[in-house]
């Protein structure tokens, strides 16, 4: 059993999910409840990313995928979008020493060439600074949308077919896996557990292919209120479920 200093939850060490994905929702409502501007919620949300990353690393999670900005989030007011685009730089400026100490490797996936140059620079710098780290992969989805990711993958595969490099009957799930933005994670490509905070129960265009067999946990807490103990609770739920991948077992 895994007993950790951040909470009193007992978790089965051999069943910690390898890949945990989180839809970090509720920053705006967290701020509103406190009569604060929405961006104060995003700031609190940003700080909580570090808290949860450290805890995930201590638990032995291999990949933590966080939905930080969707391809639909550009529709928000300009000042909020502007604030969100500065968050990666602010986050890495503030927490890079801790990330390095924790041996965390940063990865950012999404349609990155559409980001402002200051965001892209911050992201590239962070990936570069941590590229040799061998611990938890902290995977931010930034300007990410799953349908668009799948569409881009289909286009790449179609091009290979058109060029005569691939026959249509050679297209199987592994060919599609490899063309997705999570392709580099290999055995850890698919989340074992998806958590969404703030009481909403939908996927919002996040990792639609990769979540096919994931366990889903929804919690009412707003993202800034989601604590290490909340993560332990979600993992305890994961551990109490019985994954069958569509098959039958005698349990
Ligand atoms: C959803 O809450 C949250 C977002 C769109 C932004 C998520 C970003 C963070 C938590 C910080 C990310 C940190 C880094 C390092 C990039 P919402 O604004 O939709 O909340 P609401 O539904 O209550 O309005």
| Assigned domain for 184 exists | no
| Assigned domain for 47 exists | yes
| Assigned domain for 160 exists | no
| Assigned domain for 251 exists | no
Q: How many domains does the chain have?
A: 1
pLDDT band at 3 (very low <50, low <70, confident <90, very high): low
Task: Tell me how far apart the 2 most distant CA atoms of the chain are, in Å.
Answer: 60
Which ligand 1 atom minimizes the distance to the CA of 70? 5
| Assigned domain for 36 exists | yes
Q: Tell me which residue has its CA closest to atom 5 in ligand 1.
A: 69
Query: What is the 3-class SS of 128-170, one letter each residue?
Result: HHCCCCCCCEEEEEEEECHHHHHHHHHHHHHHHHHCCCCCHHH
| Assigned domain for 151 exists | no
Q: What is the pLDDT of residues 97-136, one digit of tens each?
A: 999 999 999 999 999 999 999 999 999 999 999 999 999 9
| Assigned domain for 245 exists | no
Q: What is the CATH number of the domain that holds 129?
A: 3.40.1180.10
Q: Which residues line ligand 1 (CB under 6 A)?
A: 24-29, 42, 45-46, 49, 68, 73, 84, 87-88, 91, 140, 198, 223
Catalytic residues: 25, 73
Report d(CA 1, CA 139) in Å as an integer.
Answer: 27
pLDDT band at 218 (very low <50, low <70, confident <90, very high): very high
| Assigned domain for 250 exists | no
Assess contact for 58 and 98: CB atoms under 8 A: no
Q: What is the pLDDT of residues 180-201, one digit of tens each?
A: 999 999 999 999 999 999 999 9
Ligand 1 geometric centre to CA of 68 (Å):
6
Ligand 1 geometric centre to CA of 24 (Å):
6
Query: By residue range, what is the domain housing residue 58?
Result: 2-145+191-240
């Amino acid at each position: 059993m895994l007993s950790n200093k951040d909470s009193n939850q007992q978790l089965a060490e051999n069943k910690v999910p390898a890949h945990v994905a989180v839809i970090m929702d509720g920053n705006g409502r967290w701020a509103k409840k406190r009569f604060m501007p929405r961006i104060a919620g995003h700031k609190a949300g940003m700080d909580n990313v570090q808290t949860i990353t450290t805890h995930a690393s201590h638990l032995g999670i291999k990949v933590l995928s966080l939905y930080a900005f969707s391809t639909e989030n550009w529709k928000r007011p300009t000042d909020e979008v502007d604030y969100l685009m500065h968050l990666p730089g602010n986050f890495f400026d503030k927490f890079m020493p801790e990330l390095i100490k924790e041996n965390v490797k940063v990865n950012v996936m999404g349609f990155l060439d559409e980001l402002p140059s200051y965001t892209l620079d911050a992201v590239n710098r962070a990936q570069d600074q941590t590229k040799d780290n061998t611990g938890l992969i902290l995977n931010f989805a930034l300007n990410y949308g799953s349908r668009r990711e799948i569409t881009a993958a289909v286009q790449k595969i179609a091009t290979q077919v058109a060029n005569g490099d691939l026959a249509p009957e050679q297209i199987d799930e592994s060919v599609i896996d490899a063309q997705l933005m999570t392709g580099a994670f290999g055995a850890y490509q698919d989340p074992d557990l998806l958590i969404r905070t703030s009481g909403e129960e939908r996927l919002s265009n996040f990792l639609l292919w990769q979540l096919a067999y994931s366990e889903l946990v929804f919690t009412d807490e707003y993202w800034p209120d989601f604590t290490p103990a909340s993560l332990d609770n979600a993992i305890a739920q994961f551990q109490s479920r019985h994954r069958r991948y569509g098959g039958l077992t005698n349990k």
